[in-house]
């Protein structure tokens, strides 16, 4: 075998090893029901804040504890427990992406990402101009 062939085989093997190592970091969004079937496994949930349930957070008593309820797109609910301060715009968020593990007492969250509706709303004036231009 030529040196070039050996070099190419080693390169292909290295590329496959890198791709396999990245595949362990890939994850899809789970529903509350599917997360409950995977206790103590790291999952990503996407849901909405359940506005009918209170947010438990007291910055003076324990600033590193926040608990609230979420509802996923299928209507399943669960309690979220975070050992971090409450995100400041939690109540205004359109969607919440949660990273953590489902346990018996609820979803223990390591990271919370908020999708705020104000960032995705159209500019009203620009929309009016487009409508006037068409009409």
CB atoms within 10 A of CB 34: 16
User: The domain that contains 94 carries what CATH number?
Assistant: 2.40.50.140
Q: Report yes or no on 51 lying in a domain.
A: yes
| pLDDT at residue 56, rounded to an integer | 94
The answer as to whether 107 is a domain residue is yes
Q: What is the mean pLDDT of residues 8-14?
A: 89
Per the structure, the complete domain to which residue 108 belongs is given by: 28-123
pTM metric for this prediction:
0.67
Domain contains 10: no
In a domain, 128, yes or no: no
What pLDDT is stored for residue 122 in this prediction? 53
Is 134 within the bounds of a domain?
Answer: no
Average pLDDT estimate for 60-68 = 93
The count of other CB atoms within 10 Å of the CB of residue 15 is: 10
Q: What is the pLDDT of residues 89-135, one digit of tens each?
A: 888 888 999 999 999 999 999 999 998 665 545 556 666 666 677 65
Q: Is 115 a domain residue?
A: yes
CA quadruple 12, 15, 20, 26: dihedral sign: negative
Number of domain units in the chain = 1
């Amino acid at each position: 075998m030529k040196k070039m062939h050996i070099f190419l085989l080693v390169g292909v093997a290295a590329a496959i090893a890198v791709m396999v190592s990245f595949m362990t970091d890939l994850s899809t969004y789970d529903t509350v029901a599917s997360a409950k079937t995977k206790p103590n496994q790291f999952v990503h949930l996407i849901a909405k804040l359940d506005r009918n349930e209170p947010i438990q957070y007291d910055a003076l008593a324990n600033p590193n504890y926040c608990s609230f309820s979420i509802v996923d797109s299928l209507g399943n609910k669960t309690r979220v427990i975070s050992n971090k301060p409450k995100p400041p715009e939690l109540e205004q968020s359109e969607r919440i992406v949660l990273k953590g593990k489902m346990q018996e007492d609820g979803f223990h969250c390591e990271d919370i990402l908020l999708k705020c509706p104000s960032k995705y709303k159209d500019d009203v004036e620009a929309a009016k101009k487009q409508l006037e231009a068409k009409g």
